Structure 1
Amino acid sequence: MTFHDRPIGIFDSGVGGLTVLRALRERLPTEQLLYLGDTARLPYGTKSPETIARYAVQAAGLLVGRGIKLLVVACNTASAHALDALRDAYPQIEVTGVIEPGAEAACAASASGRIAVIATESTARAGAYEAAIRRIRGDAEIATRACSVFVALAEEGWLDGPVAEAAARRYLAPLFADKDAGSRPDTLVLGCTHFPLLSPVLETVVGPGVVLVDSARTTADRVALMLDRAGVASRNVHFPAEIRLLATDAPDRFARVAANFLPFPITPAMVELVDLQQASPAAGPARPSRPLEV
């Protein structure tokens, strides 16, 4: 296999990063994708920054051992705390997270400089989006809101209806409904990879004139640019290319929840169970998963 034909590696603490995988498939249909959900140790958000970095390096090590050409950290918490550790551990691999692409897109989209960020509690507490936005646009007015219930709604497939709308109104009222027209944000960053699934109900609640920034799609655009600049885009003329899914625990639950994130059916047989404690970058695949035909 030539370097060009190696897969793009993607990892997350669970299934949320599948929105990034889906965006990559739509943006780059000829690229092979290898996804790892560290389901045995989720959520990362309750762990210390040191532990998050250690987990991320272990997860990336397995993907590097499978021969990836680029690493996508499809986890906001790991993007906030582990990118430097990953680049130090694997200098031979280009790495991108989801926060910087989302921040860049938000700054480009906002005419007023008033930007709202919704995220999980750990990502909101870390202030990573605020820091990234202010590095690009120092005068930005940023309001952040933790919306952790959205994660459960996405994983249960409750993407519309009265429960989803009530949760959205409860969370977003302080950012939008309770603001006068001159102080309302004009841009909303979906700062968790679960949240794009709720985009229709979020658009209804915030109303017209607010741009939703999907960090999954902006990350896919960043990856396309990185591959082009490095000259390592796939030369495969047959698409869509294969997707492989790995999990560190409960492939059956992974498959069940993944069905809410992906536009094709998933069964437990399609998910390879892996052990990060035994993995190393030098190790090859122990038992290949069955590639998805999508």
Structure 2
Amino acid sequence: MDNRPIGIFDSGLGGLTVVKEVMKQLTNESIVYFGDTARVPYGNKSKSTVTKFSAQIIRFLLSKDVKAIIIACNTVNSNCAIELRELFPELMIEGVVGPGVIMASRATKNGRIGVIGTEGTVKSGRYAERLREIHPEYQIFSKACPLFVPLVEDGWTNTEVAKMVIATYLNELLEEDIDTLILGCTHYPILSEDIQAVVGKHIKLINPANETAYQMGLHLLQENIQAVAIPSYHFYVSDHKEQMQDMAKMFLGCKTPDVIEVDIEKY
């Protein structure tokens, strides 16, 4: 058994949706979360820059003695997860793309799957690539939805404005007869009710956070490094710690403990 924490990071605060699922499923595991709020968003940055930023964050998390890492950022997963595993070969690293692909492949009946996310995630084509590794006949339809993040962060969920924006982005996907839609950004599950209202109940929404937490639990079990202690949760950002404190209730359903700002460039 191993009571060291799990490290979770994102380009901003959306990764708190993954934190919530890990807290729910892995009830004995401690968590160290880092949100790169000074340099968000990652979706419009180059692969080399995203890799550099992510490596700095992992080095910071290692300084907190984490036993494993969850990359909660879809852009990082889609662009440089392979490179990060090569840079840190001894570290257990789980992402959200693989688990999201597993969930979508289980859910689809007609093999027509939609993927929404940031520009970086969509341009990478990583979800489509992984889905076709499972079944070459899958048809994948992707759409970048850059306004979804500000809708969440500015508190416009469960409004007609949100539904109008969602419909504008997703109408072309609906014309493709998709039966499954991957929410390929950690902010998007906060919009689940609005998205479901627009696309209809016949389309299954995939929140990769659910399977990500489950897969991490399996890895910990296989390696015999599950925790048995009362968990602790620590939250770090690179800027705007007040914003995390303000938004924690939306993402986690509760207040976070103290949030600490870190000069991530030192790592």
Instruction: Tell me the equivalent position of 2:92.
Output: 94
| Counterpart AA for 1:257 | M
The one of 216, 221, 229 equivalent to 2:222 is 229
Instruction: Tell me the equivalent position of 2:253.
Output: 263
Query: Please, which runs of 5 or more residues in structure 2 have no aligned partner?
Result: none
Q: Is the 8 A contact 1:70 1:95 kept in 2?
A: yes
**Residue 261 of structure 1: how far off its partner (Å):** 1.0
Count of residues in Structure 1 that have an aligned counterpart in Structure 2: 267
Instruction: Tell me the equivalent position of 2:242.
Output: 252
Q: What is the CA deviation profile of residues 170-198 of structure 1, one whole-angstrom value per residue up to 9, with x for unaligned ones?
A: 1111111xx3xxx5111110010000001
**Residue 51 of structure 1: how far off its partner (Å):** 1.1
Q: Is the 8 A contact 1:8 1:33 kept in 2?
A: yes
Q: What is the CA deviation profile of residues 26-77 of structure 1, one whole-angstrom value per residue up to 9, with x for unaligned ones?
A: 1111100100011111111221101111110110001011100100001011
Instruction: Tell me the equivalent position of 2:264.
Output: 276
Instruction: Give the distance between the partners of 1:246 and 1:101, measured in 2 at CA.
Output: 25
The one of 9, 12, 21 equivalent to 2:7 is 9
Instruction: Give the distance between the partners of 1:125 and 1:14, measured in 2 at CA.
Output: 20
Instruction: Tell me the equivalent position of 1:168.
Output: 166
TM (norm. structure 2) is 0.96
Instruction: Tell me the equivalent position of 1:23.
Output: 21
Share of identical aligned residues, percent?
36
Instruction: Tell me the equivalent position of 1:85.
Output: 83
| Counterpart AA for 1:264 | C
Report the RMSD for the aligned CA atoms in angstroms. 1.3
Query: Please, which runs of 5 or more residues in structure 1 have no aligned partner?
Result: 280-294
SS in 2 for 1:142: strand
Instruction: Give the distance between the partners of 1:164 and 1:56, measured in 2 at CA.
Output: 31
Q: Is the 8 A contact 2:248 2:254 kept in 1?
A: no
TM (norm. structure 1) is 0.87
Q: What is the CA deviation profile of residues 225-271 of structure 1, one whole-angstrom value per residue up to 9, with x for unaligned ones?
A: 111111111122x4xx211100011211222233321110247xx11
Bigger Cα Rg: 1
- Per mean C-alpha deviation after superposition, the further-off stretch among 146-155 and 80-89 is 80-89
**Residue 11 of structure 1: how far off its partner (Å):** 0.6
**Residue 96 of structure 1: how far off its partner (Å):** 1.2
Instruction: Tell me the equivalent position of 1:286.
Output: none
Instruction: Tell me the equivalent position of 1:214.
Output: 207
The one of 175, 189, 192 equivalent to 2:185 is 192
Instruction: Tell me the equivalent position of 2:101.
Output: 103
Q: Is the 8 A contact 1:114 1:142 kept in 2?
A: yes
